[in-house]
Structure 1
Amino acid sequence: MKEIRFQEISALLYRIVLAFFFYQIARLLFWFFNKNLIPVDSISEYLNLAYRGIAFDTTAILYVNSLFILLSLIPVIINTQKTYHKFLFYLYFITNGISYGMNFGDFVYFKFSQARLTTAAMNVAQHESNIGKVFLVSVAEHPFVLVWFVILMALWIFLYKKVKVSPRKPLKLVPYFIFSVLTLCLTALLVVGGIRGDFKHSTRPINLVDANRHVTKPAQANVVLNSVFSFFRTMNTNSFQEVHFVNEKFIDENIHADKLYQRQGVEPKPNVVIFILESFGKEYSGAFNKDTKIKNFVSYTPFFDSLATQSLIATNAFANGRQSIHGMSSVLAGIPSLKDAFTSSPYSNQKIQSIVSVSNDMGYDTSFFHGAPNGSMGFLGFGNILGFKHYYGKTEYNNDADFDGMWGIWDEPFFQYFAKTLDRKKSPFMATLFSVSSHHPFKVPEKYQGKFKKGPLEIHEPIGYTDFALKQFFKTAEKMTWFNNTIFVFVADHTNQVAYPEYEKSMNRFSIPILFYSPNPKYQLKGEITEPAQQIDIYPTLADLMGYNKKIRSWGRSLVSDKKEDYMVINSDSINEQFMIGNYIYLFNGKEVTGIYNISDKGLERNLINKVKNPETEKGILLSKAWYQDYMNRVINRKLN
């Protein structure tokens, strides 16, 4: 049975398990040397963090050992020869030794950065001419790091050599090759799943923010993570760098990221309910297209349209990102996503002021609802960073009979669960629900087949279903005691399929509805906002309406304030940052403005950069650079609180 290669596979599994063992030792040492910065209250709590860290260790170990795994399994006949295994030995310990050392560097480095090692550290290092000296001094000041590394590497080598592969030559080459190819295919599947962190198509590859899903205190995420994972996951994705285009005086005078609203007499405090609606673009709603003059326009949201007649609506509003997680950071924390998303950056794990923290500060009960498997889209992790006190997902719903088989619980039953859960809460509360059903593959429950308009796009039918789910939610909620003193917000996370040429235009690919509604007339939430608005305006608007009388950090503005505030709409096409300022749209590549377009040119068809030069465009260029500089400064230097 030499063709089956049990001996080689067993040895490979043993060597990979060894890596997991030593990563756990490194995790324990990391926490031990930084326990004053990372509170862990009990042995059981630490063991839970260590267990949760296995997923992140898996990704890191498979990244590092992919070549070793491949060379251990490819059918080259000489796999069991002594010389070949000596080569594998050196490959294994060179790659694992270098990567394992990253964790030890964080024993010391974490005290200064309070974050795991990322590629951001390399950006800092490349500007330091004395980095070698700094390294040697650090080792001299902390010799225990080197001592522990040497001891553990020696132990690792000792244990590695305990399992040997005896030289064997396959007698039947055809079975040998067939078994080897099948083994490689299965291994490749397992490695891809391990690196992603899951085999579910509904779950994005795990990122740094996902470590926060499993912690009670944000700092504990650093125990769940390992330095190899955080470094690899931020490699080639970090465009976050401090820049210096304008002086700070210009930023202070023009960007106004620190705001103070002093609304009086907001008693009792209103409940706040935010619906972030999956892919619920402006294009699908009649109430938001009255003035677009689209021929033969069809609306798929009859309830949403009727609600808009009793609400304050922003008919010229834009998303600040391209993905669901971008929508979450923009709506709740006022942080737009640029070319590289903040939520996937090395800086996402920091204290962030948001409508969640404001609500917590005001004594609100705060909760987040998402019908997908817990942790999907990174919402649970980022929600913990923001400070939500409660998370309700598919696990808490606890009825797979209502699972759509793809993304999560159908919107109608989950919206009912949302209403009934809120009815058990004590006011005031702030709750956010992120819907799931208006998502590819664009299906509706079987019992509703034929009920909603199908239209030319696949998404039209599930948009109608989500609209119906909202109607049913209101039928239930309006009978509850908390309903009359509640402010409701409805906003899309991003756009999706496009039917009309108007929404194929570059800037209109970000066009979304924003709607504020309250049955309580004292909040005066009626009318239409025609000036440009955006997702990041929601957080300051709510802070204003709630009567939060402390300073907030926001690049957006309150849409209900008596103050006249300048606006700047920000988003990114993943190549350039896009700024809508006054009468023009500016494209900025991180270094310079490369395009200037008239505000009416939403398709960005006529670049005026070499054709128009006036005081407004000159200032617009400076404002684009100043905002970008302020954003980078606050994000990188952890000034988002």
Structure 2
Amino acid sequence: MKDYRFQEIFALIYRLFLAYFFYQIARLLFYFFNKELIKVDSISEYFNIAYYGTAFDTTAILYVNALFILLSLIPLTINTGRVYQKFLMITYFILNGIAYSMNFGDFIYYKFSQTRLTMAAIDVAKNENNIFKVFLASVVEHPFVIIWYIILMISWVFLYKKFTIKTSKATNKIKYFLSSILFICLATLLTVGGIRGDFQHSTRPINLVDANRHVENPLHGNLVLNSVFSFFRTINTNNFKEVHFVDSAFIDKNIQPYKIYKRDSISPKPNVVIFILESFGKEYSGAFNKNTKIENFQTYTPFFDSLATKSLIATDAFANGRQSIHGMSSILAGIPSLKDAFTSSPFANQKIQSIVSVSNEMGYDTSFFHGAPNGSMGFQGFGNILGFKHYYGKTEYNNDDDFDGIWGIWDEPFFQYFANTLNKKKSPFMATLFSVSSHHPYKIPEKYNGKFKKGTIEMHQPIQYTDFALKKFFETAKKMPWYSNTIFVMVADHPNQIAYPEYEKAMNRFAIPILFYSPNPKYKLIGEISKPTQQIDIYPTLADLMGYNKKIRSWGNSLVSSKVEDNIIVNSTGIEQFIIGDFIYLFDGANFTGIYKKEDLALEKNLINEPKNPINELGKLKAKAWYQDYMDRIINKKLN
């Protein structure tokens, strides 16, 4: 029977089985490290999730082990020899060890991105030169991730060696080669089917959205997945595809991609200052949580709260993306990121109408400030596409004494630099600052140790520090001549760590504050907007306030217009999420996977299988129309 290589086949099956076993352990650890973000109600529910995850594990394991499988089966007649078996083992653990580590990196990465590791993370990382420092800081903060990885890899090697192959030579080489060819053909068939994710007649391989077919809670989809699958499946993917669901008349009436806001000419024109505040989620601010009824709520933004009492604030606002660069495109250009980020797509380098282009057209000086090394996060490149006339980064700041060692210049000194640089400019100007300090690894300058309350999560002290930096900025800026005729906008790029269960809810993972303030009463920026709003509303709101009376391309709406406009709120966790009217719709680009009441922010009760009603059918049609227009404008370069 040795001519049929059965002991080698059994060894191969055993070695692949070990990969399945350790992937399930990684899934369990992923859940353990992120159980505050992904709630599982029972052991049986977890096992159900793990069962469906096997299909995604199969794809990942076969991707990684395709070479190992081929080397195990190729008929070389020396396959059972000690040297060749050692070579196989080294190959096996190099491939699997690297791939397996992705799952462990996701234990930490998921806390910030709240999505599985994809190529989008590489698109962000390639603009950074501090990734190694961030990695080391993460290891120091979460040593058990590394410890668990080492323990499991040692265990994996130990179990691998438990099945040894006895050295043997084929006595009938015809049988040996024919059986090998048969096994290779069978393995190829099974591997291709496994990588696709099924052995049926599916028209496409399974992808990230298929994880949501097996769960009622969309957040459980991230537990069904594994990081190797999500990474490999997004290599060279492009989910920007034209679709046709409705005619153009329906889009013009219900989506209204072009708006005109008529306002009397304003003289002098207002300066515009936009603060995009890193990770400054709604959860941290008392002014934006008056109605959330969170027991024993603590605020960590005293200055921001005091400014809110003199401002126009949106208390039910959402981010349109999950990462910083998504926030930049949403806030400044009104372009959200869906399954794939627009900014890392093949279509980003096109002419784009934005608050930057509008400001340039109106004769404004336009500047972008970011205290990180120039080019970090892709901001400088995208800023050039938008048309900023000036960029001020760590290079222009030119004082590394204020460098935090990882991300950039501490917020307090950089905010002062921001104010002083603006003071040298001729009005009107439009300037955007993207802060850096309220961010992992959650550090504050040593001189402020003990100044801010600890809070319950690591994020609370850096948030207080950025709030303090804002206070110091305004103390400086209000003494300057340009201050009195300036419109200030403050908005988060996305939320971060979560302390309260209210913000563990799926939709509240995108909850952010939006604030408009001006010391000039003529802009009437005071009050509260309680209806759902989003980052992409900022661009049309500012164009309206600045007196830009021409047509603008925008999926958002002016928050200060007297027009009655329906707002479609959109963001994505890999499944596109729309708030339309009184319902939340989940759409994968082809089909709806969920319908929830607007109040069901945790997405707990899916109404998708309830009897159809006209309101939901119209809502679904609007979601499809929005998606169709988004794809059309991005792909066919209609963003101007």
- Partner in structure 2 of residue 628 of structure 1: 627
Question: 1: CA distance between counterparts of 2:605 and 2:269?
Answer: 49
Question: 2: CA distance between counterparts of 1:550 and 1:202?
Answer: 47
Query: Per the alignment, in what secondary structure is the counterpart of residue 547 of structure 2?
Result: coil
In percent, how many aligned pairs have the same letter? 75
* 1:599-638 superposed Cα distances (whole Å, 9 cap, x missing partner): 0000001100111421110000100100000000000000
- 5 Å-filtered alignment, 1:300-379, equals 300-379=300-379
Question: 2: CA distance between counterparts of 1:363 and 1:422?
Answer: 16
- 5 Å-filtered alignment, 1:586-625, equals 586-625=585-624
- Partner in structure 2 of residue 269 of structure 1: 269
Q: Which amino acid aligns with 2:357?
A: S
1:500 aligns with 2:500: yes
Q: 1:469 offset after TM fit, Å?
A: 0.2
Query: Per the alignment, in what secondary structure is the counterpart of residue 388 of structure 1?
Result: coil
Q: 1:364 offset after TM fit, Å?
A: 0.0
Q: 1:539 offset after TM fit, Å?
A: 0.1
- 5 Å-filtered alignment, 1:368-517, equals 368-517=368-517
Q: Give me the CA root mean square deviation.
A: 2.3
Question: 2: CA distance between counterparts of 1:203 and 1:492?
Answer: 24
Q: Which amino acid aligns with 1:597?
A: Y
* 1:386-414 superposed Cα distances (whole Å, 9 cap, x missing partner): 00000000000000000000100000000
Contact preservation (8 Å) 1:576, 1:587: yes
Q: Decide whether aligned partners of structure 1 residues 197 and 561 sit closer, same or farther in structure 2, where only a CA change above 3 A counts.
A: closer
Question: 1: CA distance between counterparts of 2:544 and 2:429?
Answer: 16
With normalisation by structure 2, the TM-score equals 0.65
Query: Per the alignment, in what secondary structure is the counterpart of residue 620 of structure 1?
Result: helix
Question: 2: CA distance between counterparts of 1:306 and 1:289?
Answer: 14
Contact preservation (8 Å) 1:332, 1:354: yes
* 1:577-596 superposed Cα distances (whole Å, 9 cap, x missing partner): 00000000000001011110
1:201 aligns with 2:131: yes
Question: 1: CA distance between counterparts of 2:609 and 2:569?
Answer: 23
Q: Decide whether aligned partners of structure 1 residues 586 and 250 sit closer, same or farther in structure 2, where only a CA change above 3 A counts.
A: same
Q: Which amino acid aligns with 2:131?
A: H
Q: Decide whether aligned partners of structure 1 residues 593 and 233 sit closer, same or farther in structure 2, where only a CA change above 3 A counts.
A: closer
- Partner in structure 2 of residue 529 of structure 1: 529
Contact preservation (8 Å) 2:334, 2:556: yes
Q: 1:538 offset after TM fit, Å?
A: 0.1
- Partner in structure 2 of residue 563 of structure 1: 563
Contact preservation (8 Å) 1:202, 1:407: no
Q: 1:235 offset after TM fit, Å?
A: 4.6
Query: Per the alignment, in what secondary structure is the counterpart of residue 287 of structure 2?
Result: helix
1:290 aligns with 2:290: yes
Query: Per the alignment, in what secondary structure is the counterpart of residue 131 of structure 2?
Result: coil
Q: Which amino acid aligns with 1:401?
A: D
- 5 Å-filtered alignment, 1:41-190, equals none
Contact preservation (8 Å) 2:130, 2:407: no
Query: Per the alignment, in what secondary structure is the counterpart of residue 469 of structure 1?
Result: helix
Q: Decide whether aligned partners of structure 1 residues 197 and 267 sit closer, same or farther in structure 2, where only a CA change above 3 A counts.
A: closer
- Partner in structure 2 of residue 121 of structure 1: none
Alignment gaps of 5+ in structure 1: 1-176, 186-191, 205-231
Q: 1:200 offset after TM fit, Å?
A: 2.6
- Partner in structure 2 of residue 143 of structure 1: none
Paired residues in the alignment total 426
Q: Which amino acid aligns with 1:273?
A: V
Question: 1: CA distance between counterparts of 2:376 and 2:304?
Answer: 27
Contact preservation (8 Å) 2:371, 2:393: yes
Alignment gaps of 5+ in structure 2: 1-89, 99-121, 135-231
* 1:16-62 superposed Cα distances (whole Å, 9 cap, x missing partner): xxxxxxxxxxxxxxxxxxxxxxxxxxxxxxxxxxxxxxxxxxxxxxx
Q: 1:199 offset after TM fit, Å?
A: 4.8
Q: 1:234 offset after TM fit, Å?
A: 8.7
Question: 1: CA distance between counterparts of 2:401 and 2:263?
Answer: 46
Q: 1:453 offset after TM fit, Å?
A: 1.6
Contact preservation (8 Å) 2:133, 2:406: no
Moved more, 293-302 or 605-614: 605-614
Question: 2: CA distance between counterparts of 1:504 and 1:202?
Answer: 30
Contact preservation (8 Å) 2:128, 2:377: no
Q: 1:236 offset after TM fit, Å?
A: 3.0
Contact preservation (8 Å) 1:203, 1:376: no
- Partner in structure 1 of residue 47 of structure 2: none
Q: Which amino acid aligns with 2:528?
A: E
